[in-house]
Amino acid sequence: MNLGKLDESIEDSTQAIKEDPTYVKGHWRLAQAHIAKKNNKEALLAFEDAIRIEPTNKAIKKELEKCKAKVEQDDMFDDGPPPISPVKASKSQTISKTTSSKSTSSIKNSSPAPPSAPTPSEETDASEFNKSDHVRGYKLNKDGKKTSFFNNDLTPEAKALIGDIAPKKINSAMEAATPAMKKAEEGVSVWNSAGTWEEKDVSKWAVDSFTACLSGISLDLSCGRVECGDLKLNESSASVVKVRGKRRNLFDFNCTVPFEAEIDGESVKGKANFADIAPDCDGEYECQIEWDETPGNAVRMKANKHIRDGKFKEEVESRVGAWVESFKAKYS
């Protein structure tokens, strides 16, 4: 059989069975040869003869069940009578009737049952839902209204426990404030009841007031005079910070003061640059002079002494100090 000589295998197995009907291996090989040739009904007969001889043989039982399933499947398309066993004709006829009745009953069992009439509850559901509603997850609540499957109908006790949670109109921030917020210190927003970091940008006021403060400076010097034009702000920012009950007035300016000066009878022009005017400078601000036309050494040295490091610088620092006080007073 392993060499593909199935007909010869069937003949040899049949001859062996005739000589010894209790030869289980002969029935087994006969069944296997018929299965290889797609003769499932002949194979079934051979397996049944073998199982009668050895009822406890697990391998034969397993193959017998497989073969029965194949025969039932074949009978769905072919209801012809099974062949006669080469061993006992009377027994094969009985087996054929049994197999045929089983296949017929399996076909009847596999046929779909006729649809039953809808119940009253199904008719009600059909009027409320379309065919795909059950897929979307809808249901009927206790009032008979269609709602989401995840909707939870609250009991009166649960509603009383939750209370009134309907949205309410708020006319002002103080109406929504908690008692702790209403007791918050002055100058801090209602939402910031803990007094954490809160910053308010006041750059617009700072720019206007600082520009006015340092514009139009005019000073008499021991060696002449200096007149200043309008202040030019290169960078500017100012804010009021409130944190943990403490207020801080922060500012940062980078500015240029144009000037014309007469020193020892010689007229010069330039710009006084203050790159960093901020609280951490402690009221002392570094000044650098940029000349339109570089004067002689003598004039330049006196300008550095009286403008860069002397009276002019002190005047600027004094005016910035006054501005800082006005800043604190306005946002105290």
Per-residue pLDDT of the chain (332 residues; tens, 9 = 90+): 556 678 888 888 898 888 888 888 888 888 888 888 888 889 889 889 988 998 988 888 888 898 988 888 877 655 555 555 454 444 445 445 454 555 444 444 544 444 444 454 444 444 444 444 444 566 777 777 777 777 777 788 888 888 888 888 877 665 655 555 555 455 556 556 666 778 889 999 999 999 999 998 999 999 999 999 999 999 999 999 888 778 889 999 999 999 999 999 999 999 999 999 999 999 999 999 999 999 999 999 999 999 999 999 999 999 999 999 999 999 87
Q: How far apart are CA 62 and CA 39, in angstroms?
A: 18
Which residues fall within 8 angstroms of residue 63, CB to CB, at 6 or more apart? 31, 47
Among 122, 106, 115, residue whose Cα is nearest residue 68? 106
Amino acid 251: pLDDT: 95
d(CA 235, CA 250): 14
| Distance (Å, whole) CA 152 – CA 28 | 65
Q: Please name the amino acid found at residue 285.
A: Y
Are 247 and 240 spatial neighbours (Cβ–Cβ below 8 Å)?
Answer: yes
CB distance 47 to 60 below 8 Å: yes
Pairing between strand 266-277 and 246-263?
A: antiparallel
pLDDT of residue 231: 92
Q: Please give the Cα distance from 135 to 129 (Å, whole number).
A: 11
- How far apart CA 264 and CA 274 sit, in angstroms, is 25
pLDDT at 157: 87
Distances (CA, A) of 241 to 2, 245, 249, 283, 326: 96, 10, 6, 20, 16
Determine if the pTM surpasses 0.85.
no
Which residues, in sequence order, are CB contacts of 181 under 8 Å at separation 6+?
190, 191, 193
Which among 143, 305, 291 has a CA at the least distance from the CA of 224?
Answer: 305
Q: How far does CA 236 lie from the centroid of its chain?
A: 41
SS3 97: helix
In order, the DSSP letters of 175-206 are HH--HHHHTPPTTS-TT-TT---EEEE-HHHH
- Cite the beta strand spans of the chain per DSSP E: 138-140, 146-148, 198-201, 218-221, 224-228, 232-243, 246-263, 266-277, 288-291
Buried b (16+ CB within 10 A) or exposed e, 99-131: bbeebeeeeeeeeeeeeeeeeeeeeebeeeeee
Angle between helix axes 6-19 and 24-36 (nearest 10 degrees) is 160
**Distinct helix (H) and strand (E) counts, the chain:** 13, 9
